[in-house]
Amino acid sequence: MTGRFTVRPEHRLHSGPEYDRAYRQGVRAGDHLFAVNVVPNALPHARLGMSVSTKSVGNAVERNRVRRLVREVFRHRREELPALDFVVTTRPGARGAARAELVASLERLMTVAVRKASTDTARPGNPSRDRR
């Protein structure tokens, strides 16, 4: 796919240490469908990483459906997102959930995570401000 909604390599997380950093140092927002971890990055744009497991979603067809949906939500919101690394993890409630429910949940969690990250880095003396 080409065009402005493509998730280009520079907008993706690629290595284990990038995911580990989001899990260790980031803030999290979650519900029964997804958990979203976010951590500031030193780039001028947001990046996306996903962890979609067989245990939480099901077979390859279902995992790929959820991955496409997560990428779609990220692509549509990418321009308005601050310079954060987002790691989206599925939870067992995502198995068999309707598309509209998944989209609504993910959009809400991304908004909550961005708000939490901005208040977390704004606090004086917060060491996460120095980790960028």
Q: Is 45 helix (H, G, I), strand (E, B) or coil?
A: coil
Identify the pLDDT of residue 104: 97
Rounded CA separation 79/58 (Å): 31
Cα distances from 79 to residues 37, 45, 106, 119, in angstroms, run: 19, 8, 16, 20
Average pLDDT (51-56) is 93
Structure tokens that stand for 85 in this block: 């690394």
Cα–chain-centroid distance for residue 127? 22
With a cut of 70, say whether residue 128 has pLDDT above it.
no
Give residue-wise pLDDT tens across range 14-53: 999 999 999 999 999 999 999 999 999 999 999 999 999 9
| pLDDT score of 130 more than 60 | no
pTM equals 0.85
Confidence of residue 6 (pLDDT cuts 50, 70, 90): confident
Is residue 127 predicted with pLDDT exceeding 90?
Answer: no
Helix axes 60-77, 99-122, angle to 10 degrees: 50
